[in-house]
């Protein structure tokens, strides 16, 4: 009964007060869909008392009894008003920041996580100076060490520090942005302070870039796509290229599963990735309902929108992508078309996919029958991926790729057979060749058994020469 | 119903804007923001109808909320120094003060509020609260917000007292001036092009034609209506240029304006920029 009353009070407070007030303030959640449905540790920067209610609003109301912010017992336990606010209205778990010797202050947190609860944790330990993210204390690292496999969700909050910063009594209305990063599992073997530093880096990676300095804007980044059948070699070439090009200038690497940032020869993984495409469900639904073979449309849309988004990433000099939605979509359509496709048709398909031209309605039916994915792409204007400036084609033997897929153990999809892969490989070559001849895209072919570093070095030389010829200036730091 | 024909014209204009945006929006490029803009105009048109026809106790709080939301978005995009929070609070508090002046129908009180309370007291608040470093930039940002989002927007509320039809006529004129500019691409400072100029001229002609036709229904002579509509169309163009310039200065590229928080500012500034001129030249002249 007591628990029921407590949950009722919690839901009433959040549903009837916190969420309407946040709506009035204009809170905007970005990539809210990345918050896992199961237990996790949400970690964020902390500048205001509003941070915890804002983070609790990430979760549906029904899940709130399972969500607990971690509160400092020495602060929130000081008066009964604070205690009631923290325990009744915020469902907080109190911990002692300065526990007596031999007592682990994180024990209640570990216990709650073991019970499958979701916790909101502020590793800075206290509200810091507005707009400054203080060093993270090693507590988060110790949690990772004690609970291997703990899912940590980095979140960056901007806005509450202006509404209600430390030391101010009156809150001033201001909009709030909450940016959710990709959930991660950290290495439990690592030193807790190193883990804490990594978590801090991941939270900071989500922070929006500062406004550019006044003056001429740098040119859009040079786009380099690593194409070919999806193999570990292709991924290795992509990583090597990111590393090599990072010596020439800032690089953003957009991989199938991770994003890399390279600068001054050093490469690190970007926790938040790039804005994940919305509307992939439309493509997924169409892919399934309208007979687009392989249901690959949704991942292509997401990749293409990532490519589209990175076109504005002018703080980078190069954008390297592992795979290219444009090449793959056109090649896939050509490979499985009922009749052979010539270069002119491929060039036109490239224009339809990049959005340079729209598919004329008179051709719609024909395209829908022959290349359904491509036709829906253009008719629904699903994305407009830019053309690459350089294509590195990693030529892998389809037989080897099929063998590797068979070794995976799971049954092969219809388009993963050796014959299908051969057709896909041939079509990719055709598309890349068309881009070279008709779209001024420079192509570098690399054999799959070539060392990845060698290919990257060759490309870096070509890019260096191009940059020197074109007089491309580096973006402002 | 008084002013019903103007309501029909506004509704037709909104429908046309919606259809054009549905037709051109998927083409992308400069048309990409059109659907969002048409949606904004559907809501803004509804607000104008509420201002025109609903009791002041309903329409004024609604307008007050819109002004609050706009100021909130602006202060997020153009953040002041952390210590300037009292100036922001002051700007928010001035919304009910101005609306009260509208409610009691005392234009003098409104002017006093804006001129004395905001333009004279705001710099004092900024100076006393913080200090000299960065003062001018903060002052510029706050005063621009007050001038555009408060002074201009509250003039929409003043139209409530001029009777039904005037707010809708304002909506129809601004929509007529802005739609061709949105289709042709907005005129930018230092980047004159034939197409944007064509948009401005077509918008001007459309607005003048509408004013000459609709003005006499509201008791405004056609010459005066055309003169007023000319200034309204020019104000819409200037409002758009101001938005572009502010967005560029704040480093908000067009992508941000399309999908981010800047979208509201991008749409509302040209829509409300002409309100004071319209109010004095057309609505108050009758």
In tens, the pLDDT along A208-259 reads: 766 554 445 567 788 999 998 888 888 888 988 988 888 888 898 888 777 8
Q: Range with the lowest mean pLDDT among A262-266, B40-44, B53-57?
A: A262-266
Higher pLDDT, B156 or A473: B156
Residue B191, helix vs strand vs coil: strand
- pLDDT value, residue A33: 82
Residue B240, helix vs strand vs coil: helix
Contact at CB, A162 and B82, closer than 8 angstroms: yes
Which chain B residues are closer than 8 Å to A161 by Cβ? 82
Has residue B259 got a pLDDT over 50?
no
Chain B residue nearest residue A177, CA to CA: B76
Q: How far is the alpha carbon of B243 from chain A, nearest alpha carbon, in Å?
A: 16
Q: What is the pLDDT of residues A400-434, one digit of tens each?
A: 888 888 887 777 777 778 888 898 899 999 999 99
Contact at CB, A172 and B251, closer than 8 angstroms: no
Q: How confident is the model at residue B254 (pLDDT cuts 50, 70, 90)?
A: very low
Contact at CB, B28 and A214, closer than 8 angstroms: no
Has residue A451 got a pLDDT over 80?
no
Residue B220, helix vs strand vs coil: coil
Contact at CB, A170 and B253, closer than 8 angstroms: no
Q: How far is the alpha carbon of A157 from chain B, nearest alpha carbon, in Å?
A: 13
Contact at CB, B253 and A162, closer than 8 angstroms: no
Give Cα separations from A436 to A245, A326, A327, A334, A335 (angstroms).
22, 14, 12, 17, 19
Which chain A residues are closer than 8 Å to B249 by Cβ? 214
Which chain A residues are closer than 8 Å to B73 by Cβ? 26, 175
Which chain B residues are closer than 8 Å to A312 by Cβ? 253, 255
Q: How confident is the model at residue A282 (pLDDT cuts 50, 70, 90)?
A: low
Contact at CB, B89 and A172, closer than 8 angstroms: yes
Q: Residue B148 is encoded by which pair of tokens?
A: 């555009």
Q: What is the pLDDT of residues B210-247, one digit of tens each?
A: 999 998 888 888 898 999 999 999 999 999 998 888 88
Q: How many CA atoms lie within 13 Å of A340's alpha carbon, on the beta-carbon side?
A: 4
Q: How far is the alpha carbon of B250 from chain A, nearest alpha carbon, in Å?
A: 7
Q: Residue A289 is encoded by which pair of tokens?
A: 């309902």
Chain B residue nearest residue A308, CA to CA: B255
Q: How confident is the model at residue A459 (pLDDT cuts 50, 70, 90)?
A: confident
Q: How confident is the model at residue A281 (pLDDT cuts 50, 70, 90)?
A: low
Q: What is the pLDDT of residues A6-36, one digit of tens each?
A: 888 889 999 999 999 998 888 888 888 888 8
Contact at CB, A174 and B72, closer than 8 angstroms: yes
The beta-carbon neighbor of B28 closest among A170, A175, A384 is: A384
| Residue B27 touches chain A, beta carbons under 8 Å | yes
- Between A and B, how many residue pairs show a Cβ–Cβ distance under 8 A? 47
Q: How far is the alpha carbon of B65 from chain A, nearest alpha carbon, in Å?
A: 9
Has residue A388 got a pLDDT over 80?
yes
Higher pLDDT, A84 or A67: A67
Q: How far is the alpha carbon of A307 from chain B, nearest alpha carbon, in Å?
A: 14
Chain B residue nearest residue A24, CA to CA: B69
Q: Range with the lowest mean pLDDT among A111-120, A202-211, A434-443, B86-95?
A: A202-211
Q: Residue B95 is encoded by which pair of tokens?
A: 């919304």
Chain B residue nearest residue A379, CA to CA: B26
Which chain A residues are closer than 8 Å to B92 by Cβ? 172-173
Contact at CB, B26 and A162, closer than 8 angstroms: no
The beta-carbon neighbor of A175 closest among B72, B249, B253 is: B72
Contact at CB, B26 and A381, closer than 8 angstroms: yes
| Residue B82 touches chain A, beta carbons under 8 Å | yes
What is the rounded average pLDDT of the residues A357-378?
85
Q: How confident is the model at residue B260 (pLDDT cuts 50, 70, 90)?
A: low
Helices (DSSP H) in chain B: which residue ranges? 4-24, 34-53, 56-77, 85-103, 107-112, 121-129, 135-145, 153-158, 166-184, 194-214, 222-249, 254-259, 262-273, 275-278
Q: So what's the ipTM on this one? A: 0.75
Task: Collect all residues from A whose CB is shorter than 8 A from any CB in B.
Answer: 25-26, 28, 130-131, 159, 161-162, 165, 168, 170, 172-175, 177, 211-212, 214, 312, 355, 358, 381, 384
Contact at CB, A25 and B72, closer than 8 angstroms: yes
Name the most confidently modeled range: A146-150, A212-216, A275-279, A472-476.
Answer: A146-150
Q: How confident is the model at residue B261 (pLDDT cuts 50, 70, 90)?
A: low
Average pLDDT score over chain A: 83
Q: How confident is the model at residue A164 (pLDDT cuts 50, 70, 90)?
A: confident
Contact at CB, B253 and A312, closer than 8 angstroms: yes
């Amino acid at each position: 009964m007591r628990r029921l009353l407590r949950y009722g009070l919690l839901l009433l407070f959040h549903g009837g007060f916190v969420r309407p007030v946040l709506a009035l303030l204009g809170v905007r959640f970005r990539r809210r869909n990345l918050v896992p449905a199961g237990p996790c540790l949400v970690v964020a920067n902390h500048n205001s008392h509003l941070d915890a209610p804002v983070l609790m609003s990430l979760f549906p109301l029904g899940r709130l009894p399972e969500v607990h912010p971690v509160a400092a017992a020495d602060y929130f336990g000081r008066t009964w008003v604070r205690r009631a606010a923290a325990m009744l209205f915020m469902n907080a778990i109190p911990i002692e920041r300065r526990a007596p010797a031999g007592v682990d202050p994180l024990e209640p947190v570990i216990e709650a996580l073991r019970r499958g609860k979701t916790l909101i944790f502020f590793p800075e330990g206290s509200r810091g100076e507005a707009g400054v993210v203080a060093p993270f204390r090693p507590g988060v690292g110790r949690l990772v060490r004690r609970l291997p496999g703990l899912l940590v969700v980095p979140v960056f909050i901007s806005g509450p520090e202006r509404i209600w910063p430390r030391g101010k009594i009156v809150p001033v209305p201001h909009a709030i942005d909450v940016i959710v990063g990709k959930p991660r599992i950290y290495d439990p073997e690592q030193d807790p302070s190193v883990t804490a530093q990594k978590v801090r880096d991941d939270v900071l990676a989500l922070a929006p870039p500062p406004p550019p300095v006044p003056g001429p804007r740098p040119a859009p980044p040079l786009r380099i796509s690593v194409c070919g059948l999806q193999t570990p070699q292709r991924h290795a070439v992509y990583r090597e290229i990111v590393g090599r090009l990072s010596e020439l200038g800032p690089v953003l690497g957009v991989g199938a599963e991770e994003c890399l940032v390279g600068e001054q020869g050093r490469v690190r993984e970007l926790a938040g990735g790039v804005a994940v495409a919305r509307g992939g469900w439309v493509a997924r639904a169409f892919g399934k309902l309208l007979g687009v073979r392989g249901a690959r449309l949704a991942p292509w849309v997401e990749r293409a929108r990532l490519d589209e988004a990175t076109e504005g990433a002018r703080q980078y000099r190069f954008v390297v992508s592992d795979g290219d939605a444009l090449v793959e979509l056109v090649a896939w359509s050509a490979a499985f078309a009922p009749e052979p496709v010539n270069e002119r048709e491929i060039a036109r398909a490239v224009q339809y996919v990049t959005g340079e031209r729209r598919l004329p309605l008179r051709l719609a039916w024909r395209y829908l029958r022959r290349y359904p994915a491509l036709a829906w792409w253009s008719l629904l204007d699903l994305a407009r991926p830019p053309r690459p400036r350089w294509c590195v084609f990693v030529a892998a033997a389809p037989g080897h790729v099929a063998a590797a897929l068979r070794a995976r153990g799971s049954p092969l999809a219809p388009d993963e057979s050796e014959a299908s892969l051969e057709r896909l490989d041939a079509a990719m070559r055709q598309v890349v060749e068309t881009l070279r001849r008709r779209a001024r895209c420079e192509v570098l072919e690399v054999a799959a058994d070539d060392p990845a570093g060698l290919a990257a070095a060759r490309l870096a030389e070509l890019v260096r020469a191009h940059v020197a010829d074109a007089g491309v200036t580096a973006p402002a730091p | 119903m008084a002013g019903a024909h103007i309501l029909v014209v506004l509704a037709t204009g909104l429908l046309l804007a919606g259809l054009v945006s549905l037709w051109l929006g998927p083409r992308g490029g400069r048309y990409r923001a059109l659907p969002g803009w048409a949606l904004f105009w559907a809501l803004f048109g509804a607000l104008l109808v509420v201002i025109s026809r609903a009791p002041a106790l309903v329409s004024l709080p609604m307008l007050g909320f819109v002004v609050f939301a706009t100021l909130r978005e602006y202060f997020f995009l153009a953040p002041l120094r952390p210590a300037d929070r009292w100036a922001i609070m002051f700007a928010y508090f001035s919304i009910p003060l101005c609306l009260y002046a509208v409610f009691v129908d005392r234009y003098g009180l409104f002017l006093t509020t804006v001129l004395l309370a905001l333009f004279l007291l705001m710099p004092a608040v900024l100076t006393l609260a913080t200090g000299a470093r960065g003062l001018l930039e903060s002052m510029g940002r706050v005063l621009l917000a007050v001038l555009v989002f408060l002074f201009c927007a509250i003039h929409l509320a003043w139209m409530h007292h001029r009777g039904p039809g005037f707010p809708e006529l304002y909506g129809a004129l601004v929509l007529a001036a802005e739609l061709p500019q949105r289709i042709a691409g907005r005129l930018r400072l230092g980047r004159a092009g034939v197409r944007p100029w064509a948009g401005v001229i077509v918008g001007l002609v459309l607005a003048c034609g509408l004013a000459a036709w609709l003005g006499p229904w509201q008791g405004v002579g056609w010459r005066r209506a055309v003169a007023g509509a000319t200034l309204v169309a020019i104000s819409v163009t200037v409002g758009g240029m101001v938005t572009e310039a502010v967005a560029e200065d704040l480093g908000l590229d067009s992508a941000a304006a399309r999908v981010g928080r800047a979208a509201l500012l991008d749409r509302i500034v040209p829509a409300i920029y002409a309100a004071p001129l319209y109010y004095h030249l057309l609505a108050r002249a009758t």
